[in-house]
Structure 1
Amino acid sequence: MITEIVEIRIKSKMQDEFIAGVEKSKELFERSPGFQNLELHRQIEDPEIFLLFINWDSVSHHMDMFRKSPEYQEWRGNVGHFFADTPRLQHSKTQLAY
C-alpha cells in the first residue's frame, strides 16, 4: 500500500464548496482499481490549506490507472476550479505505525 498525499490551497471563501466536491467524488474513487480509502484534513493554522490522503494498492494504481481514467477527469471537474494554485503531490510508504 502507498499513500498519495496532496497539499491543496483552496481559493478564499470556497472551502465548504471544495469539501462538498470531495464528498460528491466519493464514488469515483470507490470504483477505481486499487483504491483503498481517502481522508481529507483541513489545516488549523491556515484553513485554506487541505491535505488529502488517499491509500492505493500501488503508485501505478494512482498514476497509471486513476490519473488516466474518466473518473480522474470527473474528479478534477468537481474540485479543480477551487484550487488557488497547483496542488503539491507526493507518494509515501508507511515505515512505522503505532
Structure 2
Amino acid sequence: MINEIAFIVVKEGAGPTFEAAVTKAKPLFLGAKGCHGMQLFRCIERPLEYTLVVDWETIEHHMVDFRESEAFKQWRSLIGDSVAQAPQVQHVQQLV
C-alpha cells in the first residue's frame, strides 16, 4: 500500500467550490483500480492550502491506471477552475 499526497493551493474564495468538487470526485477515485480510500485536509493556519491523501495498492495504480483514465480527466476538470497552481504530488509508504 502506498499513499499519494497531493498539496493543493486554491484561489482566494474558491475553497467551498474546491471542497464540493472533491466530494463530487470521490467516487471517481474509489472506483479506480487499486484505490482503497481518500481523504481531504485543509490547513488551519493557511486555509487556501489543502492536502489530498489517496490510498493506492501500488504506485502503478495511481501513475498508470488512474492517470491514463477518463476518471482522471474528469477529476482535473472538476477542480481546474479552483486551483491556483499545479498540485505538488509525492508518494509515500508507511514504515512503522
Per the normalisation by structure 2, the TM-score is 0.98
Task: Extract structure 1 runs of 4+ deviating beyond 3 A.
Answer: none
Name stretches of at least 5 consecutive residues in structure 2 with no aligned partner: none
Q: Which residue of 2 aligns with 1:36?
A: 36
Amino acid at match of 2:79: V
Structure 2 counterparts to residues 1-98 of structure 1, below 5 A = 1-96=1-96
SS in 1 for 2:33: coil
Greater alpha carbon shift after TM alignment, 22-31 vs 52-61: 22-31
SS in 1 for 2:80: helix
SS in 2 for 1:25: helix
Per the normalisation by structure 1, the TM-score is 0.96
How far 1:49 moved relative to its partner? 0.1
Percent identity between the two aligned chains: 35
Q: What is the CA–CA distance in structure 2 between the aligned matches of 1:74 and 1:93, rounded to whole Å?
A: 27
SS in 2 for 1:18: helix
Cα displacement string for residues 59-89 of structure 1 (whole angstroms, at most 9, x for unaligned residues): 0000000000000000101112211011110
Name stretches of at least 5 consecutive residues in structure 1 with no aligned partner: none
